[in-house]
Amino acid sequence: MEIKQFGDWKTRNTIKDMMGVKAYSKDNEWYFAIDENIIDFSAMKALLPSAEYQKLCFLQAKKIEFAELFKDISKITEFPKRKYVVVGDVDSIYTLSDKLSMCILIDEHNTKRTLAVILKQPLETDDLKEKRIRVIGELGMYSPYARFQLENISELEIIGPCSRLVEYEDYTQQYKSYFKEAEQQKEFSFEFVKLGVISNRKSQGYQDFLKHLKKSTIAQENIILEDIKMTHENIIASIKKLNDENECQGICIIRGGGNPEELIEFSKPALLDTIIASKLPIITGVGHVMDLALCDYIADYNAGTPTGVAEYFNYLVGKKAANEKAKTKDTAIQFIREKKKHADEELKDLEIKYQKLAEENAFLEYENSILQQENNQLQTKLNEAHQNQKKVSAFGLIGKLFRF
Note whether residue 171 is domain-resident. Answer: no
Note whether residue 268 is domain-resident. Answer: yes
- pLDDT of residue 54 exceeding 80, the answer is no
Residue 108 sits in the same domain as residue 57: no
Angle between helices 269-277 and 232-245 (to 10 degrees): 10
pTM of the complete model beyond 0.75: no
CA 294 to chain centre: 16
Residue 266 sits in the same domain as residue 142: no
Q: 96 is in which domain, residue-wise?
A: 73-161
Residue 254 sits in the same domain as residue 349: yes
Q: What percentage of the chain exceeds 90 in pLDDT?
A: 39
DSSP string, 136-191: EEEEEEETTTTEEEEEEEEEEEEEEE-HHHHHHHHHHHHHGGG---GGGS----S-
Whether 254 and 222 have beta carbons less than 8 Å apart is answered as: no
Whether 293 and 263 have beta carbons less than 8 Å apart is answered as: yes
* Beta-bridge partner residues of 92: 104
Note whether residue 167 is domain-resident. Answer: no
DSSP string, 37-68: TT--HHHHHHHS-HHHHHHHHHHHSPP--HHH
Residue 80 sits in the same domain as residue 197: no
Residue 390 sits in the same domain as residue 244: yes
Residue 129 sits in the same domain as residue 211: no
Note whether residue 222 is domain-resident. Answer: yes
Note whether residue 31 is domain-resident. Answer: yes
Looking at the structure of the chain, the number of domains it has is 3
**Model pLDDT, residue 86:** 94
pLDDT tens digits along 366-375: 888 888 888 8
Residue 257 sits in the same domain as residue 334: yes
Q: Give me the CATH number covering residue 249.
A: 3.40.50.2300
End-of-domain residue from the set 61, 92, 111? 61
**Model pLDDT, residue 327:** 67
Note whether residue 14 is domain-resident. Answer: yes
End-of-domain residue from the set 135, 161, 187? 161
**Model pLDDT, residue 367:** 84
Note whether residue 57 is domain-resident. Answer: yes
Least confident piece of the model among 151-160, 194-203, 375-384: 375-384
